[in-house]
Structure 1
Amino acid sequence: MKRSILFLSFILLGCSILFAQSTSLSPTVNIKGVFRKEYQGISKGTPFVLQRVVKLKNASEQGVSRTQAVLIVNGVQLGLPMNMFDVVSLQPDDKNSFWQSRQLSNELITYYEKKGYQESLRKEQAQEANDYLRELEQSKLFYEDAAVEDYLQCLLLSIIPEQMAVKREGVPQIRVLKSPSPDMLMLANNCLLISTGMLTTLDTEEELYAILSREVAHYVLDHGMITVNKNIARARRAEFWGAVMDGVVAATEEYLTERYDYYVPGLIYVTNDVVQALVNDDIMNRMGLDYSAQQEREADRVAMAFMDLMGKNKEALVSALTKINTYYERQRDAVALSKYGIYGSLSKRLEKLGEAPVLEEDRNYLKKNSGVVSFEAAMLDYNKDYKESRRLAMKNIDNGMACSDDYLMVARSIMKLSNTPEANKECMSYLDKADEVAKVTNLNICKMRILLLLRENKQMDAVDLLHQYQSLLDAMFQQPHSEEDAQWIAAEHTWAEKLLDRTYIM
Structure 2
Amino acid sequence: MRRSILFLAFILLGCGMIFSQVSRTLSPVMNIEGVFKNNYDGVAKGTPFVMQRIVKLKKAPVSGASREQAVIIVNGIQFGLPLDMLDVVELQPKDKNSFWQATQLTDDLIRYYEKKGYQEKLRKEQEQEADDYLRELEQAKMLYEDAAVEDYLQCMLLSIVPEQMAVFRNGLPQVRVLKSPSPDMLMLGNDCLLISTGMLTTLDTEEELYALMAREVAHYVLDHAIITVNKNIARAKRAQFWGAVANGVVAATEAYLTERYDYYEPGLIFATNDVIQALVNENIVNRMGLDYSDKQEREADEVAIRFINLMGKNKEALPSALTKVFGYYERTKDYAPLNGNGIYSTLANRLKKLGDFTPLEHDRIYLKKTCTVVSFEAGMMDYNKKYSESKYLAMKNIGNNMACSDDYLMVARYIMKQSNTPESNKECLSYLEKADAVAKVTNVNICKMKILLLFRENKQVEAVNLLREYQSLLDIMFRQPHSEEDGRWITEEYAWAEKLLDRTYIM
* Band of TM-score, shorter chain: over 0.9
Q: Given that residues 51 and 69 in structure 1 are in contact (C-alpha distance below 8 angstroms), is that contact kept between their aligned partners in structure 2?
A: yes
1:95–1:408 CA distance, 2 compared to 1 (3 A):
same
Q: Which residue of 2 aligns with 1:247?
A: 248
Q: Which residue of 1 aligns with 2:366?
A: 365
Q: Given that residues 104 and 165 in structure 1 are in contact (C-alpha distance below 8 angstroms), is that contact kept between their aligned partners in structure 2?
A: yes
Question: Distance in 1 between the 2:144 and 2:341 partners?
Answer: 23
Map 1:129-208 onto structure 2 (within 5 A).
129-208=130-209
Map 1:269-348 onto structure 2 (within 5 A).
269-338=270-339, 343-348=344-349
Q: Deviations over 1:291-342 (max 9, x none)?
A: 1111111111111111111111011111100000000111222221247797
Q: Which residue of 2 aligns with 1:20?
A: 20
Question: Distance in 2 between the 1:340 and 1:80 partners?
Answer: 42
**SS class of match (2:322):** helix
Q: Which residue of 1 aligns with 2:444?
A: 443
Name the amino acid aligned to 2:435.
A
Q: Which residue of 2 aligns with 1:462?
A: 463
Q: Which residue of 2 aligns with 1:59?
A: 60
Percent of aligned positions that are identical = 74
**SS class of match (2:270):** coil
| Structure 1 vs Structure 2 CA RMSD | 1.3
Q: Given that residues 316 and 359 in structure 2 are in contact (C-alpha distance below 8 angstroms), is that contact kept between their aligned partners in structure 1?
A: no
Q: Which residue of 2 aligns with 1:209?
A: 210
Q: Which residue of 2 aligns with 1:9?
A: 9
Map 1:109-148 onto structure 2 (within 5 A).
109-148=110-149
Moved more, 475-484 or 128-137: 475-484
Q: Given that residues 451 and 467 in structure 2 are in contact (C-alpha distance below 8 angstroms), is that contact kept between their aligned partners in structure 1?
A: yes
Question: Distance in 2 between the 1:79 and 1:303 partners?
Answer: 30
Name the amino acid aligned to 1:410.
V
Q: Given that residues 282 and 343 in structure 2 are in contact (C-alpha distance below 8 angstroms), is that contact kept between their aligned partners in structure 1?
A: no
Moved more, 54-63 or 405-414: 54-63
Deviation, 1:446, is 0.6
Q: Unpaired runs of 5+ in structure 1? A: none
Deviation, 1:467, is 0.8
Deviation, 1:13, is 2.0
Question: Distance in 2 between the 1:335 and 1:120 partners?
Answer: 34
Name the amino acid aligned to 2:318.
L
Q: Given that residues 282 and 342 in structure 2 are in contact (C-alpha distance below 8 angstroms), is that contact kept between their aligned partners in structure 1?
A: no
Q: Which residue of 2 aligns with 1:424?
A: 425
Question: Distance in 2 between the 1:186 and 1:352 partners?
Answer: 24
Map 1:380-391 onto structure 2 (within 5 A).
380-391=381-392
Q: Given that residues 337 and 343 in structure 2 are in contact (C-alpha distance below 8 angstroms), is that contact kept between their aligned partners in structure 1?
A: no
1:342–1:68 CA distance, 2 compared to 1 (3 A):
farther
Q: Given that residues 296 and 341 in structure 1 are in contact (C-alpha distance below 8 angstroms), is that contact kept between their aligned partners in structure 2?
A: no
TM-score, normalised on structure 1? Answer: 0.98
Question: Distance in 2 between the 1:251 and 1:26 partners?
Answer: 48
Q: Deviations over 1:424-448 (max 9, x none)?
A: 1111110011011111110000111
Question: Distance in 2 between the 1:344 and 1:12 partners?
Answer: 54
Q: Given that residues 336 and 342 in structure 2 are in contact (C-alpha distance below 8 angstroms), is that contact kept between their aligned partners in structure 1?
A: no
Q: Deviations over 1:237-261 (max 9, x none)?
A: 1011111111111111111111111
Question: Distance in 2 between the 1:273 and 1:351 partners?
Answer: 34
**SS class of match (1:10):** helix
Deviation, 1:405, is 0.3
Name the amino acid aligned to 1:42.
V
**SS class of match (2:177):** strand
Q: Which residue of 1 aligns with 2:502?
A: 501
**SS class of match (1:89):** strand
Deviation, 1:478, is 1.6
Moved more, 203-212 or 327-336: 327-336
**SS class of match (1:343):** coil
1:356–1:252 CA distance, 2 compared to 1 (3 A):
farther
**SS class of match (1:123):** helix
**SS class of match (1:49):** strand
Name the amino acid aligned to 2:94.
D
Deviation, 1:268, is 0.4
**SS class of match (1:171):** coil
Question: Distance in 2 between the 1:62 and 1:200 partners?
Answer: 58
Aligned residues: 506
Q: Which residue of 2 aligns with 1:229?
A: 230
Q: Deviations over 1:391-445 (max 9, x none)?
A: 0000000110100000000000111122222111111110011011111110000
Q: Which residue of 2 aligns with 1:40?
A: 41
**SS class of match (1:481):** coil
Name the amino acid aligned to 1:12.
L
Q: Given that residues 338 and 346 in structure 1 are in contact (C-alpha distance below 8 angstroms), is that contact kept between their aligned partners in structure 2?
A: no
Q: Given that residues 292 and 344 in structure 1 are in contact (C-alpha distance below 8 angstroms), is that contact kept between their aligned partners in structure 2?
A: no
